[in-house]
Structure 1
Amino acid sequence: MPHRLCRALCDSLNVAGASMSLLTHTEARQVLCASGADALRVEELQFESGQGPCMQASEYGSPVVCLDPGEYLSQWPVFGSRLREELPHVALLLALPLTPANTRQPIGAIDLVRHTPWCHGEDPLPAASAAARAVAGILLRRSLQHVGGAQPLPWEPAEMIDAHWGRAQRAAGRLAARRDIDITDALALLRARAFATGRPLPQVCTDLLDELEG
């Protein structure tokens, strides 16, 4: 279902990629899907840096539109520098809170990625915001019993959800126990290792788990 929703967002909103996550601005963040490599890397960079448009949209409940790549650097220096380095062809990001109808608290966020700017005078926000509200309602109905739980959501592809949530949680837990620190500090260390090596956080977590469990 998450992949069908991402494909529908791409087709209806004329974007190159879409991704969605739950509890986006928290340490319990779960990536549900990404429609392509660019959308997935944008998600990863935001989780690795702890900053970015979808984090802001999820925390404050308002859309975030980045029409100029320079905005990435000024608002989110760490995320922005890596985005420009790894994905220089991304011309526009639009992050939308996943806020179900009749509620004020987002349950997550959607990221939309474009390789070309929108045309002059084009306003994507009304349609995109309406789509995000519809998606939020669907996700809430299908995931309410699992949100914030100890297990990843039971959706396909399970491997991707585990890589971008389960492994990070397990790796942070093992590292915290080994160094006698809390989970937040352990996750910060894993994020720092990902940025220092230029490798995605899921790979760093997989390597650590292999090392500790090998």
Structure 2
Amino acid sequence: MAENRRRRLQALLAADLAERPESVVKLACERCVLELGVSGAGATVLSAAPGHGLPSRGLVCATNEVSSGLEDLQLVVGEGPCLDAFASGGPVLISDLSAEMERWPAFTPAARGLGAAAVFSFPLQIGVARVGSLDLYRDTPGPLTRAELTDALILSDLATLGVVAELDGHSTADLSWLADPHIQVHQATGMVQAQLDSTTEVALLRLRGYAFIHDVPLAEVARRVVARELRFTADEGGH
């Protein structure tokens, strides 16, 4: 049964690719929306940072602004289903996000404000090697059906193959090849690290804190730092 579903989804993805020769990962995310009854999907490359800090991240694709916002939010607040799925190696299936305030006190209210009522994250992995996550959301509460869950697991496998193909020899720790605003986050982190004479983890925490306090997307804070419009000092916030 599952093998038949896999063959069907592979055929659909192949047809999508023949019609539009784009990123397999992007097409897999779009296929998630079509097949799984979800409102949006995103795929992210993640790399575990030395010292067990937050993973580095490069957004591969998102089907809409809400999906993109949810990915960015998790990087800002340092918690959420994507990070949990990557850390555990197993799916994180939340059919009613409003019940997760204790688990994710910063992510949950902000994610609901973006329009997410249910979230489902699947690690992108080959064996024990994890390269990222596939993240889905619904704008109304409700679980994935058994068939939808099966298809989500299959599509996460297909998206994994797409990510590996697109990495094409790049390390997941080297995200400079990704055309993504999060690349500026890594540039800005390095600049703030130099400004503060601190560790990478402390620099990223300062960026995240500024974004959270001022209700500004982390990518915009990074852009300002890279453009030298915003500078951080050891004894105060950015100015």
Aligned partner of 1:193 in structure 2 is 210
Aligned partner of 1:94 in structure 2 is 120
Aligned partner of 2:32 in structure 1 is 9
Q: Distance in 1 between matches of 2:47 and 2:136?
A: 15
Aligned partner of 1:141 in structure 2 is 165
Q: Distance in 2 between matches of 1:202 and 1:177?
A: 19
1:63–1:94: 8 Å Cα contact kept in structure 2?
Answer: yes
Residue identity opposite 2:169 in structure 1: Q
RMSD: 2.1
Q: CA deviation at 1:81?
A: 2.5
TM-score, normalising length: structure 1: 0.86
TM-score, normalising length: structure 2: 0.78
Q: CA deviation at 1:24?
A: 6.0
Q: Distance in 1 between matches of 2:206 and 2:140?
A: 35
1:57 partnered with 2:85? yes
SS of equivalent residue, structure 1 residue 145? coil
SS of equivalent residue, structure 1 residue 74? coil
Q: CA deviation at 1:152?
A: 2.4
Q: Distance in 2 between matches of 1:24 and 1:18?
A: 20
Aligned residues: 202
Aligned partner of 2:134 in structure 1 is 110
Larger Rg: 1 or 2?
A: 2
Unaligned runs of 5+ in 1: none
Residues 1:24 and 1:115: Cα distance change in structure 2 (over 3 Å): farther
1:168 partnered with 2:185? yes
Q: Distance in 1 between matches of 2:211 and 2:47?
A: 19
Q: CA deviation at 1:116?
A: 2.3
Q: Distance in 2 between matches of 1:78 and 1:213?
A: 25
Aligned partner of 1:40 in structure 2 is 68
Match 2:176 to one of 148, 152, 172: 152
SS of equivalent residue, structure 1 residue 93? strand
Aligned partner of 1:73 in structure 2 is 101
Q: CA deviation at 1:203?
A: 0.3
2:125–2:160: 8 Å Cα contact kept in structure 1?
Answer: yes
Aligned partner of 2:220 in structure 1 is 203
Deviations 1:147-183 (A, max 9, x none): 33544235xxx2xx1x11x201111101111111111
SS of equivalent residue, structure 1 residue 107? strand
Q: Which moved more, 1:178-187 or 1:21-30?
A: 21-30
Deviations 1:113-168 (A, max 9, x none): 1112347x8333221111101211222133141133544235xxx2xx1x11x201
Residues 1:193 and 1:206: Cα distance change in structure 2 (over 3 Å): same
2:96–2:142: 8 Å Cα contact kept in structure 1?
Answer: no
2:57–2:175: 8 Å Cα contact kept in structure 1?
Answer: no
Deviations 1:38-73 (A, max 9, x none): 101110111111110010101111000111122331
Runs of 4+ in 1 over 6 A off after TM superposition: none
